[in-house]
Structure 1
Amino acid sequence: MRFNPRARLDSSQVSSAGGGGGGGGGIGLPLGGGIGGIVVMILLVVFFGPSVLGGQSGPSSSGGSPGDASTCTSGEQANGSSAGDRLCRLVAITDSVQAFWATELPKETGKQYTQIVTRPFSGSVSTGCGSATSDAGPFYCPTDQTVYLDLSFFDTLFTQLGGKDTAFTEAYVVAHEYGHHIQNQLGLMGKVRTQRGPNSDSVKLETMADCLAGVWTKNATTTQDADGNVLISDLTDADIDEGIAAAKVVGDDAIEKRTSGQVDEEQWTHGSSAQRVAAFKVGLQYGTIDACNFFDASNQHYPAAG
Structure 2
Amino acid sequence: MDFKDQVELDPSQVEDAGGSGGGGRGGFPGGMVIGGGGIVSVIVLVLVFVLNNVGGGDEPAQRQPTSNLSEQCRTGKDADQSERCQVVGVVNSIQDYWRQEFADYRAAKTVLYSGDVSTGCGAADSSVGPFYCPTDQRVYLDLSFFDQLQSQFGAKGGPFARAYVIAHEYGHHVQNLRDVLKSGGSVPVELQADCYAAVWARNAIKTGFYDKPFTETEIAEAIDAAAAVGDDRIQQRTTGRIDPESFTHGSSEQRVNAFKRGYKNGAPADCALSDLG
Q: Name 2:256's counterpart in structure 1.
A: 277
Structure 2 residue corresponding to 1:265, chosen from 240, 244, 253:
244
Q: Name 1:136's counterpart in structure 2.
A: 128
Q: Name 1:33's counterpart in structure 2.
A: 41
Q: Secondary structure at the match of 1:36?
A: coil
1:86-105 equivalent positions in 2, closer than 5 A:
86-105=83-102
User: Which residue identity is paired with 1:42?
Assistant: V
Count of matched residue positions in the alignment of Structure 1 and Structure 2: 261
Q: Secondary structure at the match of 1:89?
A: helix
Answer yes or no: is the 8 Å Cα contact 1:21–1:128 preserved in 2: no
Answer yes or no: is the 8 Å Cα contact 1:20–1:128 preserved in 2: no
Structure 1: which 5+ residue stretches go unaligned?
47-60, 107-111, 193-200, 224-229
Q: For residue 26 of structure 1, report the CA deviation from its aligned partner.
A: 2.9
Answer yes or no: is the 8 Å Cα contact 2:93–2:209 preserved in 1: yes
Report the TM-score when normalising by structure 1: 0.80
Q: For residue 63 of structure 1, report the CA deviation from its aligned partner.
A: 4.4
Q: Name 1:67's counterpart in structure 2.
A: 67
Distance 1:141 1:62, change over 3 A: farther
Q: Name 1:52's counterpart in structure 2.
A: none
Deviations 1:109-167 (A, max 9, x none): xxx00011100000000000001000011000000000000001001112222222311
1:113-262 equivalent positions in 2, closer than 5 A:
113-192=105-184, 201-223=185-207, 230-234=208-212, 235-262=214-241
Distance in 1 separating the partners of 2:127 and 2:106: 28
Identity of aligned residues (%): 44
Answer yes or no: is the 8 Å Cα contact 1:21–1:144 preserved in 2: no
Deviates more, 1:183-192 or 1:283-292: 283-292
Report the TM-score when normalising by structure 2: 0.88
Higher helix share: 2
Deviates more, 1:125-134 or 1:154-163: 154-163
Q: Secondary structure at the match of 2:241?
A: coil
Answer yes or no: is the 8 Å Cα contact 1:63–1:121 preserved in 2: no
Distance 1:188 1:20, change over 3 A: farther
Answer yes or no: is the 8 Å Cα contact 1:217–1:284 preserved in 2: yes
Answer yes or no: is the 8 Å Cα contact 1:202–1:270 preserved in 2: yes
User: Which residue identity is paired with 1:74?
Assistant: T
Q: For residue 4 of structure 1, report the CA deviation from its aligned partner.
A: 1.0
Q: Name 2:269's counterpart in structure 1.
A: 290
Distance in 2 separating the partners of 1:63 and 1:129: 21
Answer yes or no: is the 8 Å Cα contact 2:198–2:266 preserved in 1: yes
Q: For residue 79 of structure 1, report the CA deviation from its aligned partner.
A: 1.6
Distance in 2 separating the partners of 1:128 and 1:169: 27
Distance in 1 separating the partners of 2:57 and 2:202: 34
Structure 2: which 5+ residue stretches go unaligned?
none
Answer yes or no: is the 8 Å Cα contact 2:227–2:256 preserved in 1: yes
Deviations 1:255-288 (A, max 9, x none): 0111122111111100000000000111111322
